[in-house]
Chains A and B, each alone.
Chain A
Amino acid sequence: MADQESHSFDVVVVGAGGAGLRAAIEASIQGARTAIVCKSLLGKAHTVMAEGGIAAALGNVYPEDNWQVHFRDTMRGGKLLCNWRMAQIHAQEAPERVLELEEWGALFDRTPDGRILQRDFGGHRFARLAHVGDRTGLEMIRMLQHRATQAEIAVFMECTITRLLTDDDNRIAGAFGYWRESGRFVTFEAPAVVLATGGIGKAYKITSNSWEYTGDGHALALWAGADLIDMEFVQFHPTGMVWPPSVRGILVTEGVRGDGGVLKNSLDQRFMFDYIPEMFRAETAETEEEADRWYTDKSVRRTPDLLPRDEVARAINTEIKEGRGTPHGGVYLDIASRRDTEYITRRLPGMYHQFRELADVDITKEPMEVGPTCHYMMGGVRVDAETQGSTVPGLFAAGEVAGGMHGANRLGGNSLSDLLVFGRRAGRYAAEYAAGLTARPTADTSQLGELARHALRPFDGAGTENPYTIQQDLQDCMQALVGIIRIEDELTKALEELAVLRERATRVRVEGHRQYNPGWHLALDLDPLLAVSECITRAAFERTESRGAHTREDYPDTDPELGKVNVVVGQRAGQLSLTREPRPAIPDDLAALLKEG
């Protein structure tokens, strides 16, 4: 492989969404020679799809807001399974990161006195989300993109990493991948790699996620010997579009409810009042009158339409199952009857446009039809809360691919802030790690030939399987058997089906040649997709309770003992191993914040 293209950097960041860009900017500030490697063009990563806002206790709308309240909301939203230190760092640093984005040119919507406006979202006690209409993610990625461009960080666009390289001591030594445009292989030699690859949504049929979300970072970490945690927790966003079929799963921002929209069933009932769980009873409104007052008067309790996402998704699922759904199998989300046209089109221009263009629905005149859609992966690489370092030296992870921050369920708005806070930390500590090495780890290059041969196998003509068909079958399997509601029989069946799919994937065949060939790219993406699907299913099997986004029909209650552990997935000698490991103990002063009040 001597003639193969090779590059050398101090820090290689895989992924160019919010976390990846922020990590690269920080590593570059620290003086590290930094590269970003991403599967799409720069500026197209999934962050661009984020709508509602960035959660940060700026206290601009409600001065009584502070990091302690944000920390409390995050922990309770995560059903107390969050890594407390990550939740604390996140709540403390999010405001600085938002203000920094403003210093870099972001233009958030304003309060009457000219400061950053904040909006209400599910599970947040106060209006807390800095936003730009309903296109906050676009604003964020563009500002970071400009910043990275100006820092002259090397960007390798449309380049997919398929394996991390390690040395004899299992330290990170680089990464191996291919250019999508030419199909040629490329090696990055680097002592520190930051994974910022996002999530796994393409393992499911109904998802808000793009083609890129094939669990690459999760699998790369697993194969390199790192641990994954909380893989059983997959967030189904309560409100995805349901009609027409071609748009099924596309996200409808929680901002619709934050700005006054309510959920209704086919009997015109605001059903969320029937689904208030014990944990949130004391802080949730019990009458429509109280709920409606809450939008302008925070002395009363929050509307149940803005319970955390896991609660709302389950409630919608039940309404539909029990026959109170809409003709197209969703529920109604109504803002038309509650806010005037000018308000709706100003606050939610993207939603207005999206429904008008794709569904022939005018959201200022009629309700939307919505249903749950696979949206976010809480589980991910087990990292150190301070540094985002994994259990493999030189391997860091930030954003959705990292685990722990959100526990059993993520609150809306906490993702964009997570990307900034932990992207920055990962970049900083990756640069520090690289600078502190006396000698750079060197990869065992004999593995490169085998990696290339493996990648080219779909062309060799022996196979019979279509990669698109395998992906669809995988999505059907995960959607039906490892979805919102899980039960042992179905999880067992899913593991059997996954074994068959893995075998079929070894016989995949693609047509054409190596230049920009999406069938081949998908064939290679099946490796990580199948790996993460198995991790999710095995972890879901292991957690014999219902908590947050993980609901077991056969174990409907929360088990306090299981609340003390994370399910940890590792790969040893080619086999997955699962263990239950105790969560770090939370200090008394922080524990006191979690009490009701």
Chain B
Amino acid sequence: MAADVTMRVWRGDADGGEFRDYQAAAEEGEVVLDVLHRVQATQAGDLALRWNCKAGRCGSCSAEINGHPRLMCMTRMNQLPPGQPVVVAPLGGFPTIRDLVTDVSFNYEKAMQVPSYAPRPKEPDGTYRMQQADIDRVQEFHRCIECFLCQNVCHVIRDHEENKRVFAGPRMFIRYAELEMHPLDTNDRRELLQSRMGLGMCNITKCCSEVCPEHIRITDNAIIPLKERVVDDRYDPLVWLGRKIRRRKRADRG
């Protein structure tokens, strides 16, 4: 059942590179990662790529396959056009380190800026009570495997490196949403989201939702509800007045 395919793989580093062709056999049922592993083992031992679980659960093997951001372990060879080279490139939204490995430290830096989870006190019997129906939507966000494909395609940062300073990106908006909608959480991150995490810069083109391998409805279920919450907070007249007064007091003290 083995078929010969051409794997057209980007090879290079931060200083530049080029696509190189490798002829390899593809066995029945194989995914792109399988074939690249065969290329590694037999033709290019130093081909740099990331992978771990090989079952779509860890989010390590993100790449751009025939131009589409995908997980290499979940992209079946038989889903790609037969007879044509399979083009595999590193994620374009992050700086290249080597071959298919990119520098994703941006995501970890943004994660460090998320104010922590702060639960309310337990019930008198020492437990937390939550109904399944109340946590279903937050569990959807917890499915995120941190493949960073959403961060990679988000046009706010993909083509605008300067925005990375002031924009957390879809992955982090899910993280904020899961905290804001957690039935037990007491922290309020709305002001931070709007003023420093760039929530307002998202103009809901839904590119992130389209590429999510976990099919998390990032835009509809996380970003838009967050935007609504921020609006409620900012334009609620009482909250607005309260904030003005607090600011004035702080200014007076300063």
Contacts and interface: CB of A to CB of B under 8 A. Distances in A.
B147 to A, nearest CB: 10
A512 B34 CA distance: 22
Nearest to B105: A157
Interface string B21-32: 000000111110
Interface stretch (B110-118, B156-164, B245-253): B110-118
A383 B44 CA distance: 42
Contacts, number: 158
Contacts of B84: none
Interface stretch (B95-103, B204-212, B228-236): B95-103
B127 A139 contact: no
B28 A110 contact: no
A517 B44 CA distance: 10
A114 B60 CA distance: 34
Contact of A132 (B34, B56, B139): B139
Nearest to B59: A44
Interface string B1-43: 0000000000001000000000000011111001000001110
A247 interface: yes
Contact of B13 (A247, A357, A515): A515
B74 A115 contact: no
Main secondary structure of the interface of B (DSSP, over half): loop
Contacts of B47: 518
Given A142-B142, A467-B45, A518-B46, A250 B27 contact: no
Interface residues of B, number: 58
A41 B142 contact: no
Given A105-B117, A110-B130, A358 B50 contact: no
Interface in A124-152: 132-133, 135, 138-139, 142, 146, 149-150, 152
A214 interface: no
Contacts of A251: 55
B44 to A, nearest CB: 8
A512 B52 contact: no
Contact of B143 (A45, A135, A246, A512): A135
A110 B135 contact: yes
Nearest to A523: B45
Interface in A284-333: none
B242 interface: no
B91 interface: no
Contacts of A460: none
Interface of A: 40-46, 48-49, 102-105, 107, 109-110, 113-115, 132-133, 135, 138-139, 142, 146, 149-150, 152, 157, 181, 210-212, 243-247, 250-251, 350, 353-354, 357-359, 466-469, 472, 510-513, 515-520
